[in-house]
Structures are given as structure tokens and as C-alpha cells.
Amino acid sequence: MPDSHPVIAREGWPHVLVTLGVAILVTYLFGWWSIPFWIALVFVLQFFRDPSRDIVGTDTSVLSAADGRVIVVGKTRDPYLGRDALKVSVFMNVFNVHSNRAPVTGTVVKSWYNAGNFVNAALDKASAENERLALHIRTDDGSDVTCVQIAGLIARRILCYVKEGDHVTAGQRYGFIRFGSRVDLYLPISAAARMSVGDKTTAGHSVVAEFAQGA
């Protein structure tokens, strides 16, 4: 089912208006020398675009929390819940939509924020070293999902709209990361991956994994 939302994310309007104002001013003062500023405006508009999405999946589906490319699929240790887990990581470059969506329907049990560095988000060490914000979401049937927003090389702010105790719906917008980043999902070890490294994802639409029936 499609959701509705303004074409430009709310976080982007200050950037759009400032860039537009500068472009108009430089055009008035210097004419065609303003072309780089109009190119900058196009970049800002494409970065903060936030298109409507057809939300798909079933009660056992785990949706991608981000647009981008899958860079990790495998078993590892969930550092937040202290359990063995299936990890699926999606890398967002500066040309991807950066609005993040809830991977499952459930309740936010806990959140963690860690200040950190800004190394390339495509590297594995970004999961442990970069600025990051993690959410523990418990689905309505009791499955635990850890969803981690991780700042990238030039990202300077992670935004999260939900807090502990909030109920989220799969595909719901819950956050935004500025300028290149990644999202890590830690799922129950019994979950089955539905994507491989290199696959492209669409937030709220691509199914990256499935919970085991009865898990």
C-alpha cells in the first residue's frame, strides 16, 4: 500500500531555501557565473528527496530500512542485545534517498546513541567506530530486531523521530541521515536472508530477510 509524504524531506527545506536564495542572489549579481550554485541546488534537492513508497511484505518479512546496496549478510554477534544474530547491512551513497524506514512492525524497547568517528561507512569498522544510533524493536509476536543508523564519511547528523515505548509500523519513516551512511540490521539467528551482498535495496519495499515461522 502506498504512503503519502511531501516530495522533499522536512530536514531538507532549510538547505533547499538557503541554496536557492544564494543561487538567486549570485545570479542577480554575477549572471551566468551562478551556474555552480544552481548545480548545488539540484544536488541538495536530489539528496533530500523523499518519495512515496509501496510498502510490501508479510508479518514474517523484514524490510530494508534504507535505500542502497547490501554490503554485509552473515552471522555475527549483536553488540546491543548480546546474542548471536543474522546481520544485514545496507550502504547509502550520496545519491541514494536517505530517509530511513522501520524494518518491522513493533514497539521500540530501547535506544542507544554513541558519538564517534566518520570513517567510510562502507567499511566494517564503521559499525563499531562511527557515530551511531541503535533501536531495539520487538515485534508484536516477540521477535527482536536491532536497527542501527550509522553516520558515514561526511555525514554529520543522525536524526531519529521515535523513542522508547513508541509503536512503529513496517515501512514507517523513523529517521534520516545526512550525506552518506549505512544501516545495520541484527535479526534473530533463525531468520533467513533474502538478499545477497551487492543487491540493491529500496527502503520499505525490499524484503531483506524472513523470520522463521513460529519463531
Residues that are catalytic? 181
Contacts of 96 (CB under 8 A, 6+ apart): 66, 67, 68
DSSP codes, 18-40: HHHHHHHHHHHHHGGGGHHHHHH
The cell numbers describing 200, all together, are: 540493491
The edge-to-edge listing of strands for the beta sheet with 173-177 is 99-101, 173-177, 158-160
Q: What is the CA radius of gyration of the chain?
A: 18
**How far, in Å, CA of 173 to CA of 47, rounded?**
16
